[in-house]
Amino acid sequence: MSITRDEVAHLARLSRLALADDELDHLAEQLDVIISAVARVQEVAAVDVPPTTHAAELVNVFREDVIIPPIGEQAALAQAPAAEQGRFRVPRILAED
């Protein structure tokens, strides 16, 4: 199946695209290549191949969750360059109005 210049012009009108004559010719060639590639993919004989989401079977590759207690306020603030009233102190970035 070959896409024609007139079909590209029709699609451009439907899409509200203003294309020059040389753009219509160029896009007709490109769309023809794309449609041919999609048609080749559809020809693949995959009747006996089940659909998959991965190339290899993967079963829960994540580690088990381990619950550990938090480090606590004092330990967290001890690592901060500046702390005030139990919070991290950071430079002001907004002016007060």
* Residue 71 counted as domain residue: no
* Residue 35 counted as domain residue: yes
Asked if the model's pLDDT at residue 23 lies above 90, the reply is yes
41-76 pLDDT, tens digit per residue, is 877 767 787 777 777 877 777 888 999 999 999 999
* Residue 58 counted as domain residue: no
Q: Are 20 and 1 in contact (CB under 8 A)?
A: no
* Residue 21 counted as domain residue: yes
* Residue 31 counted as domain residue: yes
Domain housing 37: 5-42
Count of C-beta atoms within a 10 Å radius of residue 24: 18
* Residue 11 counted as domain residue: yes
How many domains does the structure of the chain reveal?
A: 1
What radius of gyration, in Å, describes the C-alpha atoms of the chain? 30
CATH number at residue 28: 1.10.20
* Residue 38 counted as domain residue: yes
Percent of the chain whose pLDDT exceeds 90: 54
* Residue 66 counted as domain residue: no
Question: Taking the model in full, what pTM does it have?
Answer: 0.44
